[in-house]
Amino acid sequence: MFWHLTNIFAILGSLAVLSLALWLNPDPRGFGTHEQLGLAPCDFMVRNGYPCPSCGLTTSFANMAELNPVTALEANPAGVLLFLLTLSMPFWFGHALWTGADPFRFATHRVGRWVLPVVVLLLVICWVVRTD
């Protein structure tokens, strides 16, 4: 029963994120799209004058939802990868729900163990490049 609920929440959560990305209008600055949700500007940017590692992720998602991958890459390249992973989640967790398979089986697979470190490394590289 636990896995069924996990799968259902993962499917609904990823669909909610994708729907929200489609609903938002990408900010032409390449960051700040999250402010349309009533959230404050990035405190890191306000205090330091340069973007945090996650700056531009919401904008990147919104651009990907509008099928603008080049603009999404400019906003935050890691956002493109995260968007594609989020896009695959309803299918992945739907398959696990349908078949009863462990939805987190990828984490023990050789490729799955590299996903999180690659995303974190990409965020850090993008951040270093954008702050120069």
The domain locations on the chain are: 2-131
Tens of pLDDT, residues 22-32: 999 999 998 88
List, as one string, the DSSP characters of 62-85. HHHHTT-HHHHHHH-HHHHHHHHH
54 and 60 Cβ atoms separated by less than 8 Å:
no
Tens of pLDDT, residues 46-82: 898 888 888 889 999 999 999 999 999 999 988 998 9
Distance of CA 98 to the CA centre of its chain: 25
Residue 100, pLDDT > 80, answer yes
95, two tokens: 């398959």
Q: Give the residue-averaged pLDDT of 14-36.
A: 93
